[in-house]
A and B are shown apart, each in its own frame.
Chain A
């Protein structure tokens, strides 16, 4: 941890006149070359953190360390950060090349070297030949690329991206998602991006930091966050799922209201209350009764989504959600009686580390 490239320590931001801090004692760190997603609903403080790292907002307390050095008192324009703004914030009165060259000019880089580096940056983001264009003549995706080039050409300590894909339409978004991942991998720059879109975070980031109401809920790899959420918030914010409240009845068995006992994998003291979650795609159609964790009920509702079929199955007092692949043979109809099963290792025990 201590030798990590970026270390955020107990960062707090309380705006003047605000009752509660917008960012409340947040700490995390990144090794060099990692891409971290700050994920959370709007107003959770993720953008405030990004802007504090950039130097656009002064933290109330806490430290921002780059290679061990606290930079929180260094003014924004001397921090050597690269930032891609949500709406790109390209300079409208300059050409694409002038935009990219701007940071180099500010660093008093000589003209010849500047031109060479701008050319390389344009190549990197596949905008070769667009240097003389005006910003207004670029499409949304091209503006995005120009903004990335502008922030990378200065060889920043850290690349910050604020909702980088939110201004693009769905198709372009997938393309740019791969593109940004690729550029980041090729340049090896340490990057932090802010998003409210879990798909974006899961698919682009090496690790995710999930935030809620100014606090860091959980930090981990996409798999850890998705399969082993440690808090209710993370479990419900990331992906869909059916939640069960229960009591541990024995080793790996929980008694849940209105359902047969639920087997799970994980350590929990007998008699203690637990919260369990099952992801819809972990519920499978079973041939017969009697397997562990099998629930029989009536299909109440069906939504066809192309590759998957989402069923809502009424089991006693509970409504279970299950996603079935549509190529799985005969599909159930509304009103059919079905039996669903889930493997004990696919039952997530919320709030505990995986066993």
Chain B
């Protein structure tokens, strides 16, 4: 590494190269140990032969991948994951868009407070917020109690232990991310543009469809991507809200890793999740470029 420093003349190149190495070393070691090595090792482990709770070294086998690719169960899991991710992304974006638009345009002096309120849920562990939805959707929870009190239903409507509960909870849990992504993507939006369009004779609907929507599209796309990738890799919420009856990639990875202890299989599923994840991000970059042209 060749080093050039802005400051001291006293620092001869050799000395500053040493300093640079000292600066880089701790952080790089930490990142290699906690990020790079795990990813490489994950890839290697996905080709190991399975043995409970250990990895047999040495040989390379595609056993785990064969299991995943030829078992219809995992095809269903993959499909469930995509459906969950898609539903959560669509609804989270639809529900977040008005809030983001409101926050981006409001002149209210409570704007700061309202923004903080919209993203405050991020300061709460997803376990805690999932618990909140268990309280709302539970058999004796808020919704069922209310419906019964109003005599609208006799029995219990099952809202948990299925994918509906998991979907709704994930939508709410991931909305702050969508709002943040949209807010930073709405930078180009400004009230003067809308005023200019209105003065040129556009009514409110036309102003929205011709000005606001096109300008906010990149932010919307970013939000959708972010929510989608977070949803397909989630497992705490699907697991707790699904009560073990919702099977997505996240829950299966957790199951293989910590319950059945089939580590090569857990690794193979993770690699597949990572591949899915990366291809979505590549697609998103394509889409974003297409939007900008």
CB distance from A11 to the nearest CB of B (A): 14
Interface check B57, CB cutoff 8 A: no
Inter-chain contact A75/B8, CB cutoff 8 Å: yes
- CB closest chain-A residue, reference B2: A16
How many A-B residue pairs lie within 8 Å, measured between CB atoms? 14
Q: How far is B67's CA from A292's CA once the two chains are assembled, in angstroms?
A: 108
Give 14 CB contacts A-B under 8 Å.
Answer: A16-B4, A55-B9, A56-B7, A56-B9, A57-B9, A58-B9, A75-B8, A75-B9, A75-B10, A76-B8, A76-B9, A76-B10, A77-B8, A77-B10
Q: B10: nearest residue on chain A (CB-CB)?
A: A75
For residue B10, which residues in chain A have a CB less than 8 angstroms away from its CB?
75-77
Q: Decide if the interface of chain B is mainly helix, strand, loop or mixed.
A: loop
Measured CB to CB, the nearest residue on chain B to A58 is: B9
- Which chain A residues border B8 with CB–CB below 8 Å? 75-77
Please give, as numbers and ranges, the residues of chain B lying within 8 Å of A57 by CB-CB distance.
Answer: 9
Chain B neighbourhood of A58, CB < 8 A: 9
Q: What residues of B have a CB within 8 angstroms of the CB of A75 in the complex?
A: 8-10
Contacts of B9 in A (CB 8 A): 55-58, 75-76
Chief secondary structure at chain A's binding surface = loop
Number of A residues whose C-beta is below 8 Å from B?
A: 8
Closest 4 CB pairs of A and B: A75-B10, A58-B9, A55-B9, A76-B9
Given contacts A56-B7, A75-B8, A76-B9, 11 further A-B contacts (CB under 8 A): A16-B4, A55-B9, A56-B9, A57-B9, A58-B9, A75-B9, A75-B10, A76-B8, A76-B10, A77-B8, A77-B10
* Chain B nearest Cβ from A73, distance in angstroms: 9
Q: Within A62-80, which residues are at the interface with B (CB < 8 Å)?
A: 75-77
A233 to B234, CA, bound (A): 70
A340 CB, min distance to chain B CBs, angstroms: 54
Give the distance in Å from the alpha carbon of A55 to the alpha carbon of B7 in the complex. 10
Residues 135-166 of chain B, each 1 if its beta carbon lies under 8 Å from chain A, else 0 = 00000000000000000000000000000000
**Minimum Cβ distance to chain B for residue A175 (Å):** 34
User: Closest residue of chain B to A55, judged by CB?
Assistant: B9
- A58 to B15 alpha-carbon distance, docked (Å): 15
Identify the closest chain B residue to A52 (Cβ): B9
Q: Which chain B residues in 1-60 approach chain A with CB under 8 Å?
A: 4, 7-10
Q: What is the CA–CA distance of A58 and B6 in the complex, to the nearest angstrom? A: 11
Bound-complex Cα distance A232 to B8 (A): 38
- B1 CB, min distance to chain A CBs, angstroms: 15
Inter-chain CA distance A56–B10, complex, in Å, is: 9
Inter-chain CA distance A56–B7, complex, in Å, is 7
**Which residues on the A side are within 8 Å of B4 (C-beta)?**
16
The smallest beta-carbon distance between A72 and chain B, in angstroms, is 9
Q: How long is the Cα–Cα vector from A77 to B9 in the complex, in angstroms?
A: 9
Distance of A58 Cα from B8 Cα, bound (Å) = 9
How far, in whole Å, are A76 and B7 apart by their CA atoms in the complex?
10
Residue from B4, B8, B9, B10 whose CB has the most chain A CB atoms within 10 Å: B9
- Cβ of A55 to closest chain B Cβ, rounded Å: 5
A79 to chain B: closest residue by CB: B9
In angstroms, how far is the closest chain A Cβ from the Cβ of B275? 42
A residues 6-30 touching B (CB-CB < 8 Å): 16
Q: Closest CB-CB distance, A71 to chain B, in whole Å?
A: 11
Which residues from chain B contact A16 at a C-beta distance below 8 Å? 4
A 34-60 to B, binary, CB cutoff 8 A, 1 in contact else 0 = 000000000000000000000111100
Shortest C-beta distance, B92 to chain A (Å), equals 42
B183 to chain A: closest CB distance in Å?
A: 29
Chain A nearest CB from B164 CB (Å) reads 55
Residue of B nearest to A72 (CB): B9
Residue in chain A with minimal CB distance to B11:
A75
Chain A 270-304, CB within 8 Å of chain B: the 1/0 string?
Answer: 00000000000000000000000000000000000
B227 vs chain A, min Cβ distance (A)? 40
Shortest distance between the CB of A91 and any CB in chain B (Å)? 15
In the complex, residue of chain A having the shortest beta-carbon distance to the beta carbon of B12 = A58
Residues of B215-273 at the interface with A, using a CB-CB cut-off of 8 Å, are: none
Query: Complex formed: what's the CA distance from A173 to B10 in Å?
Result: 35
Tell me, in angstroms, the Cα distance from A275 to B272 when the chains sit together.
80
A99 to B8, CA, bound (A): 20
Restricting to B127-141, which residues have a CB under 8 Å from any CB of A?
none
- What is the CA–CA distance of A76 and B6 in the complex, to the nearest angstrom? 13
Chain A CB count within 10 A is highest, among B4, B7, B8, for: B8
